[in-house]
Amino acid sequence: MRTIYAHRGMSSLAPENTLSAFKLCADYRVGWFECDIDILHDGTIVVSHDSTLDRCTNRSGLLFDINKQDLADIDAGSWFSHDYLEEPIPTLDQLIEVMNRYKLNANIEIKSCESNVQASRDLLDGLNAALEQLAPEREYIISSFNPILLAEFKKIRPEAPIACLFENQTLNDDWHVIMEWTGAQYIHPQNDGLTREQVKMFKDRGYKVNVWTVNAKDRANELFNWGVDGIFTDFAQNFSR
């Protein structure tokens, strides 16, 4: 089965990592989306790719320096379009509600919290608690570039499907050791420079392969012909059926 993951939601149609971007997946019959989670100073877990507010909101500074009460005054949508004026930064609880209500599945990427170790522990514990509210029929994958976080989360939630993210420069000969250490079932390699031989190597070891970020249809077809299981794309509407 070939899976299309809407990268940060329908991020070419709505501001990335927002509830609007996730809800649009249902409109386009895209069953899976990808998103990123991080933690605020008061322990609130939010959906955000960046550790700063500068790129995708009307505020600047570190994400970790704000609390839940600050979210009401932050606009995470007007940078994309005036149609999304006052679009909020979603909390993880709101993300789970959207998944349940719209019958969507998610690849949830854990960001490496840059503030301190305790915040990272709180992030993992909070994610585990939130997943308890997910409807039984909903599916999820937990991914990260940080294998330590993945290995620790696997201890907390042994049943969680785990995916290791790799950039080209980090996909070294010890990749399979990292996969085994984390208990991952999925490998998520970078699209740029990925070869047929590498895909075969991953598949021969029994891993499912989802490639990021693939926006061209011809490249997607090539990858699927090589045997990859899914792709992450900014233009999921072009691949929806």
Q: What residue ranges define each of the domains in the chain, with the CATH number in brackets?
A: 3-53+91-238 (3.20.20.190)
Question: What is the average pLDDT across 81-92?
Answer: 97
pLDDT of residue 113: 81
Say if CB 189 and CB 201 are below 8 A apart. Answer: no
- The pLDDT-based confidence of 131 (bands split at 50, 70, 90) is very high
Q: CA–CA separation, 213 vs 216, rounded Å?
A: 9
pLDDT of residue 82: 96
pLDDT one-digit tens code per residue, 201-238: 999 999 999 999 999 999 999 999 999 999 999 999 99
Say if CB 9 and CB 22 are below 8 A apart. Answer: yes
pLDDT of residue 214: 98
Q: Does 79 score more than 90 pLDDT? A: yes
pLDDT of residue 241: 59
pLDDT one-digit tens code per residue, 9-21: 999 999 999 999 9
pTM of this structure = 0.97
- SS3 call for 160: coil
The continuous run of DSSP H or E covering 38 comes out as strand 32-39
Who contacts 33 (Cβ-Cβ below 8 Å, separation ≥6)? 5, 6, 7, 8, 9, 10, 21, 22, 25, 104, 105, 106, 107, 236
Active site residues: 7, 49
